[in-house]
Copies of this chain bind each other. A is one copy, B any other.
C-alpha cells in the first residue's frame, strides 16, 4: 500500500463542456487521483467582477436590487462583471459611475479574492474609491436598482437583518471598520 499524499495536483484527463451562457459557462473535468483512479470536478467559469467601496459624507454608497438566485432584494456595494479583456480597475470606474451616477477620481485595490474556490473561478476585485463628483447614471436594460447611502450603524443593522448578506459587501464593511479603527485601508 502506498502512502496517502497530502498534496496532489489534479491533472485533467477529460473536459466535458456542459453549458455556455451569458454570464457563466459550466464544464465537468475528469481528473487523475493518486491511486490511479479518477474523479470529476464541476467548474463554473466567470469573467470576474469589480466592486467598489465609496464613502460620501461618511456614508457608504450602496445599491438595492432583486437577486434571483436567492429570490430576495439585497443591499450591496456597486459591482459589475468585467467586459472581455477589461482591466479590473477600468471596470470599477465604469461600473461605479453607471450604477451610482457618481464619478470617482481614484480607485485603490483593497483586495482581490475568489468567491467560491470549490466550484468557480470567479475573482472579485474590491476597490476603495476617492474624490467623488457627479457623473452620469446609466443602467443596463435589464438592470433595476435603487441607490442609497448608509451610515456605519445602518450597515451593521442591515447585516443583522440580512438585507446585506453577500461576501463583497460584508468585506466592504470590514474594510470600512478597519479604516475607522486604524485610518488605513
Report whether over half of chain A's contact residues are helix, strand or loop; otherwise say mixed.
mixed
Chain A contacts with B in 35-62, Cβ cutoff 8 A: 39-46, 49
Number of copies: 2
CB contact between A170 and one of B76, B81, B111 (< 8 Å): that residue? B111
Tell which of A67-75, A86-94, A128-136 binds the partner.
Answer: A67-75
Assess the B44–A22 pair: CB atoms within 8 A.
no
Supposing A116-B115, A165-B114, A174-B178 touch, asked if A28 and B21 sit within 8 A by C-beta, the answer is: yes
**Complex: how many Å from CA A159 to CA B110?**
11
Chain B residue with Cβ nearest A177:
B178
> Does A1 sit at the interface, judged by CB under 8 A?
no
Supposing A22-B42, A23-B42, A41-B68 touch, asked if A145 and B178 sit within 8 A by C-beta, the answer is: no
Distance from A33 Cβ to chain B, minimum over Cβ atoms (Å): 6
Task: List chain A positions with a Cβ less than 8 A from chain B.
Answer: 4-10, 18-19, 21-24, 26, 28-29, 31, 33-34, 39-46, 49, 64-70, 73-74, 76, 81, 111-124, 142, 144-146, 159, 162, 165-168, 170-171, 174-175, 177-178, 181-182
In the assembled complex, 10 residue pairs joining A and B whose CB atoms fall closer than 8 Å, in A order, are A5-B144, A7-B144, A10-B68, A18-B18, A39-B142, A46-B116, A111-B159, A171-B171, A177-B178, A181-B181
